[in-house]
Amino acid sequence: MTFSLILFLLTVFTGVLWVLDVFVWKPKRVKVMSDELQQFDRSNEDALRRGVQSVVAARSAMVTRMNERPKWLEYTAGFFPVIFFIFILRSFIFEPFRIPSGSMMPTLESGDMILVNKYNYGLRLPVLNTKIVPIGEPERGDVIVFRYPADEKIDYIKRVVGLPGDKIEYVNKRLTINGKPVPVTADGKYYDEAKMQELDQFVEQLGKKDHRILNNRAAPAGAYPLPIHNNPDACDYVRGGLICTVPKDTYFVLGDNRDNSEDSRYWGFVPEKNLVGRANMIWMNLSKPSRIGFFD
């Protein structure tokens, strides 16, 4: 069971109890307590008139109890407003994710905690992920979070390289889109602390967006389809790489750490229905606070 489903069920459960309490149970409690309060006032009319402290305190306690929920409701329906706020925020506005691997280095490192914009690509029903309000579509160069096509319980993060209808060539570690080589400029070296190796760093330009990518000169060029590939007929695997035509309503994605990323080269295309949102902000990295900020 996914966290989204758990949160949805909690919202429904606490919401039903909250509605029942506000419109059914609380009015009944207030009615019972009001009757008891009237009876108390009649029985203690003289003491109340004289301001006997113990009687006045007892009456105040009855008024307080009139507005109190039972403990079991306080810990269920009482949490509904908070749970509902979190549900709306997480389902339609922003959702936090933690980067588990180095496939998106140097843009994102393992341990980065990012915020994903949930409304950039349209509002979607929670759990079902069905688009209900179209707002925008991914652009070439966007960093996106999506449900992994081979196992939709897993979230992946990669960069959009190919849009529907694009012809993508990735051969000998060079990217070509619709017959035009994507501009790359050498940008020194990058040291991968986790693997203790030095990688070649480049600035790649996708449309108007610049971002950095990594290549490992020791890794051989090439790609191959895994058995889970969702559309192998759309790709030709050639010596040193592959050539694909991106099918309708799907996207071709790559990791920025090109020689250490399992992406569209291996398992295929990201269906539009699998999109979760666009990532562009690191909100926390416990070991490297300096990484907090926006990224492309």
Which residues carry out catalysis? 103, 158
Of the candidates 181, 175, 219, the residue with the CA atom closest to the CA atom of residue 199: 219
Cα torsion for 72, 76, 77, 80, to the nearest 10°? Answer: 160
Considering only CA atoms, which of 295, 275, 271 is closest in space to residue 283? 295
Residue type, 225: P
Tokens 């759990």 sit on residue: 127
- How is residue 94 written in tokens? 């922003």
Q: Are 291 and 282 in contact (CB under 8 A)?
A: yes
Q: How far apart are CA 10 and CA 276, in angstroms?
A: 21
